Amino acid sequence: MVAAWCFGAAHAQAAGGAPAVPDTLKQRIASCTGCHGEHGEGTPESGFFPRLAGKPAGYLARQLKDFQDGLRKYGPMEYTVRYLTPEYMQEIAAYFAAQDVPYARSPLPRLSAEALRRGEELATKGDPAREIPPCAACHGTQFTGVQPDVPGLVGLPYDYISSQLGSWRTRTRATVAPDCMADIANRLSADDISAVSAWLASRELPSDMHAQPAGSITPPLHCGVLGGGTGS
Tell me the residue type at 28. Answer: R
**Reduced to 3 states, what is the DSSP secondary structure of residue 212?**
strand
Q: What is the pLDDT of residues 91-135, one digit of tens each?
A: 999 999 999 999 988 888 889 999 999 999 999 999 999 999 999
The H helix count followed by the E strand count for the chain is 11, 0
What angle in degrees, to the nearest 10, is found between the helix axes of 158-170 and 180-187? 100
pLDDT tops 50 at residue 148: yes
Q: Over the range 143-159, which residues count as b (16 or more CB within 10 Å of their CB) and which as e?
A: bbbbbbbbbbbbbbbbb
Domains of the chain: 4-228 (1.10.760.10)
> In this structure, are residues 181 and 224 in contact, taking their beta carbons and an 8 Å threshold?
no
Q: What is the mean pLDDT of residues 194-206?
A: 96
Predicted TM-score (pTM) of this structure: 0.88
For residues 6 and 20, give the distance between their C-alpha atoms in angstroms, rounded to a whole number: 13
